[in-house]
Amino acid sequence: MNPLDDGALHAAALAGLPGMTPVRLAKLLDGFQPVVAWQAVRAGTHPADPRRRFSRPARSTELGSIRASYEGSGVRALLPEAAAYPSMLVGDPGAPAVLFALGDPTVLEGRPRVAIVGTRSATHYGRQVASELAGDLAADGVVVVSGLARGIDGAAHAGALRAVSTNAAPPVAVVGTGLDVVYPASNGALWQEVATQGAIFSESALGTQPHPGVFPARNRIIAALSDVVVVVESHLRGGSLYTAEAAARRSIPVCAVPGSVRSRASEGTNALLVDGCTPVRDATDVLVAISLVRSGSAEGSDPGLTLDAPVDSASPSVSPSASPSSPVPPSRGAGLRTPIVNSPPTAAPASCVASRSHRARSLANVLMSGAERTVWEALDDTPTAFETILIRTDMSVASVAEVCDRLVERGLIHSGAGWWSRN
Amino acid sequence: MIAAIPSAVLIGVDGIHVSVEVHVSNGLPGFTVVGLPDAAVRESRDRVRAALLSSGLSWPLRRVTVNLAPSGMRKGGAGLDLPIAIGVLVASGELAPHHVDGFAFVGELGLDGSLRGVPGTVVLAEVLGRYTLVVPPECGPEARLVGGADIRTSTNLGFLVDQLSGGRPWIDEARTDAPGTDAPRTIGDTAADTAANKEKETWSCRPAGNTARSAIDLSDVRGQRLARRALEVAAAGGHHLLLVGPPGSGKTMLAARLPGLLPDLDRSTALEVTRIHSVAGQLLPPSGLVVRPPFRAPHHGVSPVAMIGGGTSWMRPGEISLAHGGVLFLDEMGEFSTVVLDALRQPLEEGHVRVSRARGSTTFPAQFVLVGAMNPCPCGEGGAPGTCRCSEAARERYARRLSAPLLDRFDIAIRVDRPEVDELVGGSPTEGSSVVAGRVAGARHRALGRGVMVNAELAGSLLDEVAPMTRAASSLIERQIRSGHLSARGLHRVHRLARTVADLDDAGSTVEEVHVHEALLLRSRRDLLLGS
């Protein structure tokens, strides 16, 4: 139970009016106390609502039932002056006038934050990179911020939740729907877990259904909450590029995970790299990008991260001059400007975070039989059809089936939906 | 005077015996038909009268009453024209009663007195087996398929009257029959069974049959080794098969080649199939007997009644029954209405369908190999994960068109992709249908030894007995279940498939590890539609 104060209640009531958008809400609450704004809207005298479009719905709104629904669902409505309102949003040009939160909003404070975003129709490669990256970052005490969508977002959250370490950071999600509308429904369990361990934010009132407008808007909050945005996989016009663009506008470094040049799911990220974003191979690359140094080098020990040089949105070293009209944010290599490490990212210290699985793979590679090696050689990180494996190996259906099953059992390759790829 | 002429009409795929009673009495000239005739039968009054007059026979200028017994059952079709005409002739004294003694008649009359064929002659001939049955010439081969029936044909009502009264010989069948009937057959050939068997042999190696086979041969398919193997396994084990792939990947081409891999129908199935096709008015092969497995590919706009069977006055078999013994191919399966798709579930389970209407119900056989083809997503281009531009919701909606219980009926599901260019232009020649059909026949023969037609019918409880697994194979299955890759439901499916794969490889009685691997590859799984 978290009693709703009057201001929050009225702000929530305003946010729940049909046809309300973040921009309209911000105008209604600009310079007005929520209670005053609410009364003015009801009376039809609010200067930001000259056509009185919200007057009639406001008059038929029952404040008592709104209070009951918020207090019953455990969703908090945070006004910018509230103590729990994320500090990095204060002063942001696109800061939501009211932010709804489930879980503990303060997990964001005092920790480095990285947004891991990407396409919903991700490849196995993308999901796995997102999950590994999020897991390693969370284990190092970095809050992973994402959108709880299908594909990359969900994989990032799931990876972050799996992190085991003494100072593992909980994940934070920013969603487009109301906090009582789980979308996509298949992420229900994940949603629950993020809310319990970390926090879920939304600027939509309870009951807001998914519609195309809400997702780009929430992407700006994801960007604003983060120190660095990592795009794992994105199509050429993917929604995650909005997040990258919003980040570039706030001078927040944007990094991208390189993908196969033949994979359509990596077209957007590869384009970001061409535009000068920092490539990310593993968690160390991300840590370098947020100018973090690790005090301990031994894997598994408490790395004791310190926020050495917090990336400030007002940092003088970065000019917020990104053109908002460009489809691909000309981030001008925001991530390349890494204040601590002067050497280019390729010379970054050898990663001790993400190399675990690499090592396991190369070890298994040695122990392969001839047929296994042939099939392994026929595969790569991009999804390959069974028919293609047959053509590349010139083996029989039965023997390829057998070898593939064996490689899957050993965790070397992965199959799904009739596609095979290396793990 | 009264005459009673035996005939028969169709109810569903069954014939019922009808006695056509004709009474000619003094009174005002008139012609009434009673006994629940439908429109076609009522119209026969005009056809019969015109046919009699144009055949040079006289029409009684008296009161004619026709009763179709049993009178409580609705009768349809034009096949009663001929018995009514004969009845009128006998009742009015044109034809002596002893001339038609022991005869039954089925046929439609033209206004000029010619005899025309009616659908379902096989079934009608079966009902009238104890009579000498007179049918129109085009129905002769069909009618002769059923054992025991003594069949005669005639082309014209005038001739028929002469033939019945002994003034004209019955036509020698061999000369008028469709070319291709092997031996001249004498009337009253009681060894109809052996004759039909002989006919079956000649039919299967008949040129017509050969061209039909070679026109769509498996050797036309380039590459697609996985799909070819899936077809072979489906044919051998009677497993339902789902092909998922983008447009132009050859799904239709592959499916059309499945019947060519199936062996000829056995005698009883062939008769059953012939009955259904005959009743539905389908074109039958010249010999009359359908011995090649049929291939039906209804368009996705098909109505539930057209798919399942039914109709108001006359129960007609649907596509699933026309595919009995063969292959039912549903292209663009996601576009079929969900009502139609869900209606398939019960027949798929039971092998027949019971169609009930207010006026009665009937059971049609419906045992077929179902081949479904589907795009991976609405845009059709859903190739590798990450390439499709359809929204997740749209993909899920599309996949949900196939309900889980229906998807569950498919034993095999594979992805089919467009062949690579090298395979199309170069590519080594591939096996033809006849080679594969040989292996399929061998595998089916083994299934017969287990008391089932095909392995797909094997009960789950029987599997351990007829398909014992080697230690390595069962440990593989166990590992798959433990790792969550295989469900308990999928277990039987994989076991059955492995049995078929082993049969095809001529592997003996035990199922080995390699067969299980292949079964695991081929088995159907929902993620094929949902993407990874």
Same domain for B180 and B39, yes or no, is yes
Assess if residue B393 is contained within a domain.
yes
- How big is the A-B interface in CB pairs under 8 Å? 109
Say yes or no to pLDDT of A331 above 50.
no
Assess if residue B203 is contained within a domain.
no
Cross-chain Cβ contact B385/A397 below 8 Å:
no
Mean pLDDT to the nearest integer, A149-161: 92
Choice among A14-18, A188-192, B118-122, B420-424 with the minimum mean pLDDT: B420-424
A105-353 and A356-422 have identical folds: no
User: Measured between CA atoms, how close is A160 to chain B, in angstroms?
Assistant: 21
Mean pLDDT to the nearest integer, B221-236: 90
Point out the domain boundary residue: B437, B472, B489.
B437
Which of chain B's residues have a Cβ under 8 Å away from the Cβ of A398?
501, 505, 514-515, 517-518
Same domain for B420 and B471, yes or no, is no
Q: What is the pLDDT of residue B175?
A: 42
ipTM of the complex: 0.73
Which of chain B's residues have a Cβ under 8 Å away from the Cβ of A386?
226, 414-415, 521
Mean pLDDT to the nearest integer, A45-50: 87
Q: How many domains does chain B have?
A: 3
- C-alpha distances (whole Å) from A65 to each of A68, A137, A207, B331 are 5, 41, 13, 52
Same domain for B430 and B462, yes or no, is no
Which of chain A's residues have a Cβ under 8 Å away from the Cβ of B387?
121, 263-265
Which of chain A's residues have a Cβ under 8 Å away from the Cβ of B225?
387, 390, 397
Say yes or no to pLDDT of A347 above 70.
no
Sign of the CA dihedral with B67 first, then B69, B72, and B78 last: negative
Q: What is the pLDDT of residue B221?
A: 84
For B278, the domain range is 212-437
Same domain for B432 and B455, yes or no, is no
Select from B423, B485, B527 the Cβ nearest to the Cβ of A417. Answer: B527
Point out the domain boundary residue: B437, B470, B505.
B437
Which SS3 state, helix, strand or coil, does residue A172 take? Answer: strand
Would you say B22 and B84 are in contact if contact means Cβ atoms under 8 Å apart? yes
CA distance B173 to B137: 9
Same domain for B417 and B378, yes or no, is yes
Say yes or no to pLDDT of A58 above 50.
yes
Select from B483, B514, B528 the Cβ nearest to the Cβ of A398. Answer: B514
Long-range contacts from B313-316, C-beta under 8 angstroms, 24+ separation: B313/B38, B313/B74, B313/B76, B313/B359, B314/B10, B314/B38, B314/B76, B314/B77, B315/B11, B315/B12, B315/B355, B315/B357, B315/B360, B315/B362, B316/B279, B316/B280
Q: What is the pLDDT of residue B184?
A: 38
How does the average pLDDT of chain A come out, rounded? 80
Note the pLDDT tens digit of each residue in B313-367. Answer: 677 889 999 999 999 999 988 889 989 998 998 999 888 998 888 777 888 899 9
Read off the CATH number of the domain in which B422 is found: 3.40.50.300
Assess if residue B199 is contained within a domain.
no
Place of tokens 């595969």: A379
List, in order, residues 6 or more apart from B167 with CB less than 8 Å away. none
Say yes or no to pLDDT of A305 above 80.
no
Q: What is the pLDDT of residue B313?
A: 64
pLDDT category, A334, cuts 50, 70, 90?
Answer: very low
User: Running DSSP on this structure, what letter comes out for residue A107?
Assistant: G
Select from A124, A398, A401 the Cβ nearest to the Cβ of B385. Answer: A124
* Domain edges within chain A: 1-73, 105-353, 356-422
Percent of chain A surpassing pLDDT 70: 81
Cross-chain Cβ contact B386/A418 below 8 Å:
no
User: Measured between CA atoms, how close is B379 to chain A, in angstroms?
Assistant: 14
Query: In terms of Cα–Cα distance, which of A201, A155, A163 is closest to A353?
Result: A163
Which SS3 state, helix, strand or coil, does residue A406 take? Answer: helix
> Which of A148, A234, A405 to mutate to probe the B interface, most B CBs <10 Å?
A405
Say yes or no to pLDDT of A361 above 90.
no
Tell me the CATH number for domain A105-353. 3.40.50.450
Phi, then psi, of B462 in degrees rounded to 5: -85, -20
Q: What is the pLDDT of residue B440?
A: 93
> Which of B231, B374, B387 to mutate to probe the A interface, most A CBs <10 Å?
B387
Q: What is the pLDDT of residue A364?
A: 55
User: Measured between CA atoms, how close is B244 to chain A, in angstroms?
Assistant: 9
CA distance A414 to B207: 50
How crowded is the C-beta side of B171, counted as CA atoms within 13 Å?
17
Which SS3 state, helix, strand or coil, does residue A280 take? Answer: coil
Note the pLDDT tens digit of each residue in B18-71. Answer: 999 999 999 899 899 998 888 878 888 899 999 999 999 989 999 999 999 888
Which of chain B's residues have a Cβ under 8 Å away from the Cβ of A122?
385-386
Q: Which residues of B touch A (CB under 8 A)?
A: 223-227, 229, 244, 384-389, 392-393, 414-417, 419-420, 422-423, 476, 479, 483, 485, 501, 505, 513-515, 517-518, 520-521, 527-528, 530-532
Which of chain A's residues have a Cβ under 8 Å away from the Cβ of B530?
417
* Cα first-last separation, chain A: 45
Same domain for B343 and B299, yes or no, is yes
- C-alpha distances (whole Å) from A78 to each of A29, A87, A224 are 13, 12, 16
Note the pLDDT tens digit of each residue in B102-151. Answer: 999 999 999 999 999 888 888 888 888 888 999 998 888 888 887 655 88
How crowded is the C-beta side of A225, counted as CA atoms within 13 Å?
36
Say yes or no to pLDDT of A343 above 50.
no
Assess if residue B134 is contained within a domain.
yes
User: Measured between CA atoms, how close is A386 to chain B, in angstroms?
Assistant: 7
Select from B389, B419, B517 the Cβ nearest to the Cβ of A405. Answer: B517
The residue ranking higher by pLDDT, B165 or A344, is: B165
Select from A264, A391, A404 the Cβ nearest to the Cβ of B386. Answer: A264
Cross-chain Cβ contact B419/A150 below 8 Å:
no
Assess if residue B101 is contained within a domain.
yes
- C-alpha distances (whole Å) from A284 to each of A296, A299, B71, B513 are 13, 12, 91, 44
Q: Burial level of A395, CB count in 10 A (0-12/13-18/19+)?
A: middle
The residue ranking higher by pLDDT, A320 or A13, is: A13
List, in order, residues 6 or more apart from B353 with CB less than 8 Å away. B308, B309, B318, B320, B321, B346, B347, B363, B364, B366
Q: How many CB atoms lie within 10 A of CB A211?
A: 10
Q: Which residues of A touch B (CB under 8 A)?
A: 119-124, 126, 150, 184, 233, 235, 263-266, 382-388, 390-391, 397-399, 401-402, 404-405, 408-409, 416-419
User: Which residue in chain A is spatially nearest to B387 when comparing CA positions?
Assistant: A264
In one-letter notation, the amino acid at residue B528 is L
Cross-chain Cβ contact A417/B531 below 8 Å:
yes
Cross-chain Cβ contact A402/B514 below 8 Å:
yes
Note the pLDDT tens digit of each residue in B165-211. Answer: 888 888 755 444 444 334 333 333 334 444 444 333 333 333 333 33
Assess if residue B201 is contained within a domain.
no
Q: What is the pLDDT of residue A4?
A: 81
Assess if residue B195 is contained within a domain.
no
Which of chain A's residues have a Cβ under 8 Å away from the Cβ of B521?
386, 397, 401, 404-405
Select from A383, A408, A409 the Cβ nearest to the Cβ of B385. Answer: A383
pLDDT category, A120, cuts 50, 70, 90?
Answer: confident
Cross-chain Cβ contact B415/A386 below 8 Å:
yes
Choice among A21-25, A80-84, A380-384 with the minimum mean pLDDT: A380-384
Note the pLDDT tens digit of each residue in A191-210. Answer: 999 999 999 999 999 988 88
Same domain for B170 and B230, yes or no, is no
User: Which residue in chain A is spatially nearest to B520 when comparing CA positions?
Assistant: A401
User: Measured between CA atoms, how close is A421 to chain B, in angstroms?
Assistant: 11
Select from B225, B517, B532 the Cβ nearest to the Cβ of A417. Answer: B532
Select from A121, A384, A401 the Cβ nearest to the Cβ of B521. Answer: A401
Cross-chain Cβ contact A121/B517 below 8 Å:
no
Q: Burial level of A129, CB count in 10 A (0-12/13-18/19+)?
A: buried
Q: What is the pLDDT of residue B127?
A: 87
Which SS3 state, helix, strand or coil, does residue A114 take? Answer: strand
Torsion of CA A221, A224, A229, A231, to 10 degrees: 30
Say yes or no to pLDDT of A302 above 60.
no
Cross-chain Cβ contact B415/A419 below 8 Å:
yes
Which of chain B's residues have a Cβ under 8 Å away from the Cβ of A391?
223, 420, 422-423
**Highest averaged pLDDT of the listed ranges B295-299, B391-395, B460-464:** B295-299
Cross-chain Cβ contact A124/B532 below 8 Å:
yes
Note the pLDDT tens digit of each residue in A367-395. Answer: 778 888 888 888 887 888 888 888 888 88
Same domain for B395 and B510, yes or no, is no
Read off the CATH number of the domain in which B515 is found: 1.10.8
**What topology does CATH give the domain A356-422?**
Arc Repressor Mutant, subunit A (1.10.10)
Q: What is the pLDDT of residue A312?
A: 41
Same domain for B168 and B216, yes or no, is no
Say yes or no to pLDDT of A419 above 50.
yes
Mean pLDDT to the nearest integer, B243-253: 87
Note the pLDDT tens digit of each residue in B257-272. Answer: 999 999 999 888 888 8
Choice among A166-175, A288-297, B109-118, B190-199 with the minimum mean pLDDT: B190-199
Assess if residue B442 is contained within a domain.
no
User: Measured between CA atoms, how close is A121 to chain B, in angstroms?
Assistant: 5
pLDDT category, A351, cuts 50, 70, 90?
Answer: very low
Q: What is the pLDDT of residue A31?
A: 86
Cross-chain Cβ contact B520/A405 below 8 Å:
yes
Same domain for B249 and B142, yes or no, is no
Select from A388, A405, A416 the Cβ nearest to the Cβ of B532. Answer: A416
Note the pLDDT tens digit of each residue in B481-502. Answer: 888 888 877 888 899 999 999 9
